[in-house]
Amino acid sequence: MTRKVTYRCPSNIALVKYWGKKEDGIQIPANASISWSLSDLFAETSVEATESREPELTFLYDNSPKTSFEPKIKDFLSRIAPYSDFVATHSIKLNTVNNFPHGTGIASSAAGFGALALCIADLEGLFQYNTLEFYQRASFFARLGSGSACRSVYAEPAIWGHHDAVGNSSDLYAVPYTGLIHSNLQDWKDCVLIVDDGEKKVSSTAGHALLKNHPYAASRFQQAQKNIENVLQFMQRGDIISFIELVESEALQLHAMMMSSIPYFTLIRPGTLAIIEEIWTFRNDTGLPLGFTLDAGANVHILFPESIETEAMNFINTKLLVYCKNGLYLCSSTGGQPTKIVE
Ligand code: PMV
């Protein structure tokens, strides 16, 4: 018997960063992280599963074979096999596509593994679609593909990693934050300014591993745990100024950890710093609530509430385009649930 499902899953951007893993277990974060999903930057993935005693994998990117991706997917399937009989009993034909261009330096793994995990959780049929258990199962699978991907399956801010102040939090999957969020911190936008579109010089996997003997690791992990508590308070109170300060500090800490790893490295580029300076000047001059965060790369995520969209876009288009590779930036709303595509 053959069954097919298709899911669309957003990418996400961390507000408090995951950087460093615990030593035991697979993809167990050293600290809790929290993210917003980016509903306009997504992957759409179909999985066609056929019962088989000798399971095979066919991987297509936008309907064309892409063998270079196959080892990653095979690895992922072997990681989830101990938890799900589905993998050992089905051949899988997978077709995936991102709605954002390749080679923009935007990590596609969060959206891609999120969408694939949703397909598998659906086909496996253990939990009913659209229930919390279903999303937690998908999040658990996604984590085994790429840690940060486990946060992509929720519309609400997603928290991954055990934290005493977040009752149901877990190292094994992300949970949605369903508490109060002040209207000041709802409906924010993220415009990703593409500073560098090349392959990263140091992969996230290698970067995480460098935390193992990092001189500042222990205090960074403590700081992140504290920042989770703080950011939740700022969201509840609608304290935009403190929120922006915390989120920018998290981004700079992430890159400071890279620059103080042994061996050290950096992923930021001159354009990254120039944009950050421009943002601080803009905020000083206008008093408008616009801030930034960074992923593991040179690109700058500009965050602002929808209410100042006109001013923010004007700022980006007049002051920041010059730092963007080929003038490229990609904007998204934050929040937004993954969707099951019914054909
Ligand atoms: O999920 P990974 O292993 O690609 O790690 C990503 C880590 C950061 O993007 C830098 C931060 C985060 O929490 O998303």
pLDDT tens-digit series, residues 129-181: 999 999 999 999 999 999 999 999 999 999 999 999 999 999 999 999 999 99
Instruction: Report residue 340 as tokens.
Output: 């099951």
Band of residue 200 on the pLDDT scale cut at 50, 70, 90 = confident
Over range 82-92, report the average pLDDT: 95
Over range 60-76, report the average pLDDT: 92
Longest Cα–Cα distance of the chain, Å, equals: 66
User: From the alpha carbon of 19, which atom of ligand 1 is closest?
Assistant: 7
Instruction: Calculate how far, in angstroms, residue 18's C-alpha sits from the geometric centre of ligand 1.
Output: 6
Assess whether the C-beta atom of 12 lies below 6 angstroms from ligand 1.
no
Our separate counts of H helices and E strands in the chain read: 9, 12
Instruction: Report residue 262 as tokens.
Output: 């042994």
- The residue type of 145 is G
State how far the alpha carbon of 289 is from the alpha carbons of 232, 235, 243, 331, 332, in Å: 18, 14, 10, 17, 17
User: Are 177 and 232 a contacting pair, CB within 8 Å?
Assistant: yes
Neighbours of 70 (CB within 10 A): 14
Using a pLDDT cut of 70, give the percent of the chain over it: 99
Band of residue 107 on the pLDDT scale cut at 50, 70, 90 = low
Instruction: Calculate how far, in angstroms, residue 204's C-alpha sits from the geometric centre of ligand 1.
Output: 7
Q: Alpha-carbon distance 207 to 267, whole Å?
A: 11
Instruction: Report residue 331 as tokens.
Output: 């904007």
Is residue 197 classed as helix, strand or coil in its secondary structure?
Answer: coil
Residue 234, pLDDT > 80, answer: yes
User: Are 100 and 106 a contacting pair, CB within 8 Å?
Assistant: yes
What local confidence, expressed as pLDDT, does residue 289 receive? 98
Assess whether the C-beta atom of 148 lies below 6 angstroms from ligand 1.
yes
- The helix (H) or strand (E) run that includes residue 310 is helix 309-315
